[in-house]
Structure 1
């Protein structure tokens, strides 16, 4: 048990800080290393390790990643970013449009892929228009996390909790759609207030400064422009038709979610114009491996009986872990410690759902999605936006991110708790 607990603690330490201290082992490496060492130490058998991996969740996520990748190689995301950037409106209105676009795309496609594809283009557009890119990027990032809560296919953690509690697409969105939309409005209001008077480069730079003050002057002084992918109307249309078919199947049929997603991915991979390797190159294999490793690590810990003892102790303190509001708050707190997907994976083995599994699952999705904006490392989307922006010459510091993210998170969480209470939970 000591070895299991030690490895478990080290793995989740890496989830929290991004790497194993003193080593060049990132989150994915730590999850796989922990899983392999637990097998080698015979704390879990190879057969049990394979059985611990939730194939339905991994298959669903992989299938949807392929669908989203089709929009990447078809140039859809670049086209959307350029079209939005060309709209001749004021900065506050542009922020609102970006938030709406980010929220909608993240609800229908995997949010992490959306931010990977669009962040570099948005940076270039903002700088070309002499706008401060920071509020635009933060609004885009926050909206990706909040908008993704609207559907069970919006983020990996939504898929995990929906699979664990057997929640349908319709029942999930019936609870999360309204607070997600209201959350997007909150993001716009708060960022518009926080950055009032600081929308343009001239307002945040000295006369000789060509970039925002948040640019990291100690790093490379030249931006690395990313090649723009031209819009392929045929491939984009094909991906759009497949996506509509998938969503229709999610809504109107009882087919397993994984099979629906894999069917769509199969159709898109059968292509005479685009190589499958190009498509699969945009699939986040690291995230899939990370989740697989965590399934094994969590199963090994569960075998020790310690999690059950811990949950029993918590229940004796009067905290009802089957109640949606406590789970919303607990999942939100855990998300900012170990990340949103690992947080959900820690909690799902202990979810019984009682008579309100839909509300319980939706509450966890809202808790992880809404709280993800507090700090950079609260979500993969936050990390992606900050790192992609840095590559384009714009650095958003930890403090700058939290200065906007914390009030957005607090307001969003209050909204989510109020909504759950309104539903009678």
Structure 2
């Protein structure tokens, strides 16, 4: 068990980078252990753990594979299937946040790969791009929008109308790229068979758990709900608990600590002031800083230096593309897909998307 964990750590370059960066940051910005614990958003970590358990249970039930087979029956080509899923992902992410949309759709995408033989890695990449685009539309689509919406004082619909040109343009760009990325070849379907009562029960109460857990997240009860889910699955379906990628939680905890220490460094404040002084500094600063510390911390940090909420909101939305660290949704998609070589291919699509969307956002502003 220990050997397999160590093997996975050595293959996870992001986790290794975070582990190596931590002592350097602690040397530059000393902090007590209690201070490091306080840097972690434990509600987010608990929410991530709960959603991982629910999505893995739904996948283990086999009923998502049956839904995938129905979807394959409607869409006979790779391109049509991909575009349908991308549109659904974008719409869903605007309503239930980009992370939740991924936890719902990733198991379906993986099932599609198993049933059709389709190379699912590229589909996972485009799903990550689509939820980043779709979630930028509304104040509740992602954490950075929620933060900037509250700081701006705009109404829900004012913020949505402000973001609509960018979000719709980004989605259109992703759909056009999908015409290049996915072929018009026909898909073959292997129909799954899983009608036993155990699978039905697992699917039923896992599906019912989704809205209840999201409600718990809304009322800041995610840690308690996650512990309850963990105990339930450990007793009733232990294989679900064993199948979870627990190292992903460690990645998020280390990211909170490292980024928190980085944001506290005095040298970043003069840098932010200099960035804001350049033309369209709020927009460019939001996009570029997201490439270094992710778009949520970038929004938290830069909101103190600007009142141009439209430019900053555009910037951190565009910043979700580019490097994988630009958006936590990217990391979730890449980790949970467990596809070999996906990080390199992700950047082959995401980096050009960042350049194009950066230009697009600047033209819209």
TM-score clears 0.5: yes
Aligned to 1:43: 30
Deviation at 1:96? 2.3
Q: Is the 8 A contact 2:136 2:167 kept in 1?
A: yes
Distance 1:304 1:243 in 2: 39
Unaligned regions of 5+ residues in structure 2, if any? 1-7
Alignment of 1:308 onto 2:269? yes
| Structure 1 pair 327–318 and aligned structure 2 pair: CA distance change class (3 A) | closer
Q: Is the 8 A contact 1:70 1:235 kept in 2?
A: yes
Distance 1:256 1:102 in 2: 21
Question: Alpha carbon RMSD of aligned pairs, Å?
Answer: 5.0
User: Residues 83-232 of structure 1: matches in 2 within 5 Å?
Assistant: 83-87=70-74, 89-104=76-91, 108=96, 109-110=99-100, 113-114=103-104, 117-127=107-117, 139-149=126-136, 158-159=142-143, 162=146, 171=156, 174=160, 179-180=166-167, 183-192=170-179, 194=180, 198-200=183-185, 232=199
Alignment of 1:285 onto 2:246? yes
Alignment of 1:379 onto 2:330? yes
Deviation at 1:159? 3.4
Deviation at 1:306? 1.6
Query: How many positions carry a matched residue from both structures?
Result: 345
| Structure 1 pair 314–283 and aligned structure 2 pair: CA distance change class (3 A) | same
Residues 134-190 of structure 1, C-alpha deviations (whole Å, 9 max, x = no match): 875654453344345456776xxx33674698679x949836577545543432233
Q: Is the 8 A contact 2:334 2:343 kept in 1?
A: no
Residue 351 of structure 1 aligns to a residue in which SS? helix
Deviation at 1:91? 4.4
Find the partner of 1:30 among 17, 23, 48: 17
Aligned to 2:278: 318
Distance 1:274 1:152 in 2: 38
Unaligned regions of 5+ residues in structure 1, if any? 1-18, 203-224, 250-254
Aligned to 2:288: 330
User: Residues 230-269 of structure 1: matches in 2 within 5 Å?
Assistant: 232-245=199-212, 249=215, 257=218, 259-262=220-223, 264-265=225-226, 268-269=229-230
| Structure 1 pair 326–228 and aligned structure 2 pair: CA distance change class (3 A) | farther
| Structure 1 pair 302–160 and aligned structure 2 pair: CA distance change class (3 A) | same
Give the TM-score taking structure 2 as reference length: 0.67
Deviation at 1:372? 5.9
Deviation at 1:46? 1.8
Residues 6-43 of structure 1, C-alpha deviations (whole Å, 9 max, x = no match): xxxxxxxxxxxxx99xx767322332343356558982
Residue 110 of structure 1 aligns to a residue in which SS? helix
Residue 184 of structure 2 aligns to a residue in which SS? coil
Distance 2:337 2:140 in 1: 24
Q: Which one has the bigger helix percentage?
A: 2
| Structure 1 pair 185–74 and aligned structure 2 pair: CA distance change class (3 A) | farther
| Structure 1 pair 139–59 and aligned structure 2 pair: CA distance change class (3 A) | closer
| Structure 1 pair 139–63 and aligned structure 2 pair: CA distance change class (3 A) | closer
